[in-house]
Amino acid sequence: MQRSTLCIMTALALAIVGRSAGAQESQVEFHGNYVPGSGSSSTAWGGGAQYQVTLGSKEQAVQLSPSLGVDWTKGEESGPSTTSVGLDVNVQPGGDSPLTPYAGGSVSANWVSEDAPKGTLLGLEYMSGVYYKLESQGSLSLHLEVRRGYIRTQPHQTTGRFGVALSL
């Protein structure tokens, strides 16, 4: 199955599941990625997007937020590029605060341009981050996140993300 077909099918499935599961909110988010170099690996830059639904009411103590995302990074100095399609699952506090912290995990399918076996490689990460809503009733939020994990056959890495989210 081609990557584009997989992305489209997964996005549609997440949207349908989110609506049928009583999602209270949904949002799209666009972000930049920064992966600092370490050891033999070079610094990498990239970007991505994700679609997220938040399950449970704001009155609950904890809400669950699954999201589907796609990312691309490219190493500096002719380093390898990586394309990823991932599913994140986060928990966050309920309520209506402008500042919403969260923590969770991610599983992804990855395609690396070089120095890796051919085919799809499993990626596993854990993350924590925060959304900051710019206006109390507004739909725009800033997003800051740190992820740590690895892609099979690749060294562990830390990724920083900064983005903008739009509530739908």
- pLDDT at site 7: 56
Q: Rounded mean pLDDT of the chain? A: 86
> What DSSP designation does 156 have?
-
- pLDDT at site 2: 55
> Residue 46 pLDDT > 90, yes or no?
yes
Cα(144)–Cα(60) distance, integer angstroms: 24
Cβ distance 127 to 148 under 8 Å? Answer: yes
Q: Read off the tokens for 44.
A: 């990498």
* Span 72-112, pLDDT tens digits: 999 888 888 999 999 999 999 988 899 999 999 999 999 98
Cβ distance 50 to 70 under 8 Å? Answer: yes
Number of neighbouring beta carbons within 10 Å of residue 91? 14
Smallest CA-to-CA distance from 41 within 106, 115, 107 is with 115
* Span 128-147, pLDDT tens digits: 999 999 998 889 999 999 99
Cβ distance 44 to 83 under 8 Å? Answer: no
**pLDDT > 90 in the chain, percent:** 60
pLDDT band at 20 (very low <50, low <70, confident <90, very high): very low
pLDDT band at 42 (very low <50, low <70, confident <90, very high): confident
- pLDDT at site 165: 97
Q: Which domains does the chain have, with CATH numbers?
A: 3-167 (2.40.160.20)
- Whole-structure pTM value: 0.82
Smallest CA-to-CA distance from 36 within 127, 123, 148 is with 148
